[in-house]
Amino acid sequence: MAELMTAARMRRIETAAMERGEVTGLDLMERAGRGAVEQIVAARPAPGHALVLCGPGNNGGDGFVVARHLHARGWSVEVVTLADPDKSGGDAGTNRDRWRAIGPIAREAESTPPDLVVDALFGTGLSRPFACPDALRPPPGALPLRVAIDMPSGLCSDSGRIIGDGLAADLTLTFHAPKAGQYLAEGPEWCGRVVTVDIGLGMADDPGGPSLVGPPEGLGKTDGHKYAHGHALMLSGGVGRGGAARMAARAALRVGAGLVTLGCPPAAVIENAAQLNAIMLRPVADAEALSEMLSDDPRLSAVGLGPGLGTGDATRALVGAVLKARRPTVLDADALSVFADDPETLFGDLHPGCVLTPHGGEFARLFPDIAGRLAATPESGPAMSRIDAATEAAARAGCVVLLKGPDTVIAAPDGTVRVHAGRYGRAAPWLATAGTGDVLTGLIAGLLARGLAPGPAAATAAWLHVEAARRVGPGLIAEDLPEALPAVLGGLGS
Pair 314, 331: CB distance under 8 Å: no
Asked if the model's pLDDT at residue 314 lies above 80, the reply is yes
Asked if the model's pLDDT at residue 118 lies above 90, the reply is yes
Strand ranges of the sheet holding 105-106, from the earlier edge strand across to the other edge: 105-106, 76-81, 49-54, 116-120, 145-149, 171-175, 193-197
For 163-182, letters b (16+ CB in 10 Å) and e give bbebbbbebbbbbbbbbbbb
* pLDDT cut 90: percent of the chain above it: 85
Sign (positive/negative) of CA torsion 301, 254, 430, 490? positive
pLDDT of residue 410: 98
The H-assigned helical ranges of 281-312 are 287-296
Locate the DSSP E strands across 265-328.
Answer: 280-283, 302-305
pLDDT tens digit sequence for 376-402: 999 998 999 999 999 999 999 999 999
Determine the distance from the C-alpha atom of residue 326 to the mean position of all C-alpha atoms in its chain, rounded to a whole number: 29
pLDDT tens digit sequence for 54-89: 998 999 999 999 999 999 999 999 999 977 777 777
Asked if the model's pLDDT at residue 279 lies above 80, the reply is yes
**367 to each of 184, 353, 477, how far by Cα in Å?**
20, 20, 30
Q: How far apart are the first and last CA of the chain?
A: 18
**330 to each of 80, 434, 456, how far by Cα in Å?**
54, 19, 13
At 48, the pLDDT band (50, 70, 90 cuts) reads very high
Nearest to 82 by CA among 55, 120, 51: 55
pTM above 0.85, yes or no: yes
Pair 479, 435: CB distance under 8 Å: yes
**217 to each of 28, 284, 321, 428, 490, how far by Cα in Å?**
35, 36, 34, 22, 11
pLDDT of residue 288: 98
Do strands 105-106 and 76-81 pair parallel, antiparallel, or not at all (unpaired)? parallel
Adjacent-strand bridge partners of 419: 212, 409
Asked if the model's pLDDT at residue 130 lies above 90, the reply is no
Average pLDDT over residues 202-213: 76
Task: Give the three-class secondary structure for 120.
Answer: strand
Pair 177, 196: CB distance under 8 Å: yes
Alpha-carbon torsion angle 344, 345, 348, 351, nearest 10: -110
Pair 277, 253: CB distance under 8 Å: no
Mean pLDDT in the chain?
93
